[in-house]
A and B are shown apart, each in its own frame.
Chain A
């Protein structure tokens, strides 16, 4: 058991090391593969150097803090609205008919297309940015909640009704907990897409945010800094998804038992 898990960690570390080694070699020797060329790609060593500089600069904390704040605000709103919409759509055919068409039309619109409207619709650029991260997280949360609500065992609902369940209790004591594992999945995916939309959102920003930092580095042609920004977003996204997954597991202890049964 112990050995198997060390083996797994070794394999994970090795795959990361191989990727880095390939990147270093490819950028060092300006590898040209025809379609892909590494001629202008900064090497991992350059990136590491830029990354260390950035970590030590006083701007680092401000950039990270403003991004985290935006993502959290957009995500929290999306969670509230998404779970509520998902419950309503999953439970009521009438409301589903009413809501589904506009949502299906809005869903494929990419975050970047929202920029002009977001700027026009909201009084501050901060709110526009939060709105764009919100659109990113909303749809995975809605869809997964609907899926969870629709797949509640009908006999569970029948039992609850025969036990005298009120309408409110049906929603909060039966439907919501039964759909909770799917809702958590939606939240984890939504958290990922929130970070996914961050660079797009922070194109609007005037001065702070990891996305803004990445975008600014591109306009200033600071190539290693672009990659530093990309990696930071990746790590922050990974970290927040892991936290959320752990929180979900802690909140649904019965779900683990069910699966291991």
Chain B
């Protein structure tokens, strides 16, 4: 525990975004995110929720330092973000483990980059693997693991760097429903222990409500922040809250935000199917 709990007390991982605009494409013609301003407090769990194309992953990429905003400022603990750094760890949806390294060496990669000797870094990697429930799989290769296990390795590989920020880009999006629930519980469990600041991108309302302290709802064309929702459930949470009345109300609210005036669209898109069924009956 000692190695990880060291920086828990330190108030670190404070994100501040001030009118961040991100342009993509060859000549920067496409405005992916338009003037986004928000703040994430140290140790807070925030979900970026929105339809595809709303710029939530782009915004996360900018926090990781892989994408440079066209204008506005983005800072962590007062330092402007300038390129990727191990203190801002990122977990993608799938297939970003090194397939040629076994699980232990994947997890130990960050320590190797910092010049930690083989013995200590392998010990530390094994401890991280135990934390995510994969103690027995250290010698296996990513190709031999299920999708859920691969994401556990991803999380261990980022946590070993003791990041101030954990950035997650739809990390459970490719998993089946049951595995996803289990992973959500695992993540909450880990977060309760370490209290890192987490920014978690998802388009799944249930996921956002289950995990987050606060949800930043985004809108597309151009991608921008629509509304912020505080999620009132007490911690530690369990998946039981999904069936509560407050959960339903919040979900309803999120749905109406996401659909907005496009509810009309969905209905017209559904009608051809209805027509076919009617004709058969």
A-side interface residues toward B, CB under 8 Å?
A: 153, 155-156, 158-166, 169, 173-174, 177-178, 180, 252-255, 257-258, 261
Q: Which 6 A-B pairs have the closest CB atoms?
A: A164-B86, A257-B143, A161-B84, A164-B113, A177-B100, A159-B96
Nearest opposing residue in chain A for B160, CB measure:
A163
A164 touching B66 in the complex, CB below 8 Å, given contacts A153-B95, A254-B141? no
Expressed in whole angstroms, the Cα–Cα distance for A244 and B89 within the complex equals 39
Q: Which one of A155, A166, A178, A255 contacts B113 once the chains associate, using CB atoms below 8 Å?
A: A166
In the assembled complex, the CB of B28 is this many whole angstroms from the nearest CB of chain A, namely 18
How many interface residues does B have (CB within 8 Å)? 29
Q: How far is the CA of A169 from the CA of B115 in the complex (A)?
A: 11
B144 and A159 contact, CB distance less than 8 A: no
- Shortest B128–chain A CB gap in Å is 13
List of A residues within 8 angstroms of B158 by Cβ: 162-163
Q: Interface code B44-88, partner A: CB below 8 Å = 1, 0 otherwise?
A: 000000000000000001001110000000000000000111101
Q: List 14 A-B contacts (CB under 8 A).
A: A158-B61, A158-B96, A160-B109, A161-B84, A162-B64, A163-B89, A164-B86, A164-B113, A164-B161, A173-B109, A178-B100, A253-B141, A254-B100, A257-B99
Partner of B90, one of A162, A166, A254, A261: A162
| A156-B96 CB under 8 A given contacts A162-B64, A254-B143, A261-B143 | yes
Residues in A whose Cβ lies below 8 Å from that of B95:
153, 155
Q: Closest residue to A158 on the B side, CB-wise?
A: B66
Cα A169 to Cα B98 with chains together (Å): 13
Query: Which of A155, A173, A254 is close to B99, meaning CB atoms less than 8 Å apart?
Result: A254
B46 nearest CB across to chain A (Å): 19
A164 to B141, CA, bound (A): 22
CA distance A254 to B92 in the complex (A): 21
A158 CA to B99 CA, complexed, in Å = 15
CA distance A180 to B99 in the complex (A): 12
B157 at the interface (CB under 8 A from A): yes
With A and B bound together, what is the CA distance between A158 and B83 in angstroms? Answer: 11
Closest to B141 in A: A254
Query: Would B143 and A159 count as touching, CB distance under 8 A?
Result: no
Considering residues B83, B85, B109, B110, which has the most beta carbons from chain A within 10 angstroms of its beta carbon?
Answer: B109
- When the two chains form their complex, are residues A158 and B98 in contact, meaning their CB atoms are under 8 A apart? no
* Interchain CB contact under 8 A, B66 and A163: no
Q: A229 to nearest B CB, angstroms? A: 41
Interfacial chain B residues near A252, Cβ < 8 Å: 100
Q: Given A165-B113, A173-B98, is A258 in contact with B143 using a C-beta cutoff of 8 Å?
A: yes
Residues of B within 8 A of A153 (CB): 95-96
Q: In the assembled complex, how far is the CB of residue A118 from the closest CB belonging to chain B, in whole angstroms?
A: 39
Q: Is the CB of A257 within 8 A of B89?
A: no
Q: What is the CA–CA distance of A156 and B157 in the complex, to the nearest angstrom?
A: 13
Known contacts A161-B66, A165-B109, A257-B141; 15 further A-B pairs (Cβ under 8 A):
A155-B96, A158-B66, A158-B96, A159-B90, A159-B92, A160-B109, A162-B89, A163-B113, A164-B110, A166-B113, A177-B100, A180-B100, A253-B141, A254-B141, A261-B143
CA of A164 to CA of B157 in the docked complex: distance in angstroms? 12
B99 and A258 contacting across the interface, CB-CB below 8 Å = yes
Complex alpha-carbon distance, A178 and B90, angstroms: 20
Instruction: Quote the shortest CB–CB distance from A196 to chain B (angstroms).
Output: 31
Is B114 part of the binding interface, using a Cβ–Cβ cutoff of 8 Å?
yes
- B157 — which chain A residues lie within 8 A by C-beta? 163
Cα A165 to Cα B112 with chains together (Å): 9
Given known pairs A159-B90, A161-B84, A257-B144, the reply for A177 and B96 (CB within 8 Å) is no
Closest to B115 in A: A166
Residues of chain B contacted by A174 (CB below 8 angstroms): 98
Return the CB mask of B146-172 against A: 1 if under 8 Å, else 0.
000000000001100100000000000
